[in-house]
Amino acid sequence: MNTQHANTRAQQRGIPPMIGWLLDLYGEEEYDHRGAIVLYFSKKSKQRMGREIGKRPLARLSEWLDAYKVLSTDGLTVTIGHRTKRVLRS
């Protein structure tokens, strides 16, 4: 479930709803040390997605594979965007 803010940001940043769904299915979780969870596509998750949906569909999605999603502790999507920096791992 998304907040209105997350829906607005996804639309402004040109991220289709399917990418949010794929982040839920294949994204790696990382705690951000501020009380939220960040979902993002890692190398391992992209490889798994390629095996399950195929390499060609994955290649078509490549412009959105830098997306991330921030979840609150109760599971709401707070925001969604494009990564410009590496995800810091704990």
For residue 20, what are its two tokens? 């949010």
- Residue 89 in this model has a pLDDT that exceeds 90: no
The DSSP element (H or E) to which 30 belongs, if any, is strand 28-31
pLDDT number for residue 48: 96
**How far apart, in whole angstroms, are the C-alpha atoms of residue 24 and residue 28?**
9
**How far apart, in whole angstroms, are the C-alpha atoms of residue 4 and residue 10?**
10
Q: pLDDT digit string (tens) for 6-53? A: 999 999 999 999 999 999 999 999 998 889 999 999 999 999 999 999
**Bridge partner residues of 38 (DSSP):** 30, 70
pLDDT number for residue 90: 62
Q: What is the pTM of this model?
A: 0.88
| Confidence category of residue 86, pLDDT binned at 50, 70, 90 | confident
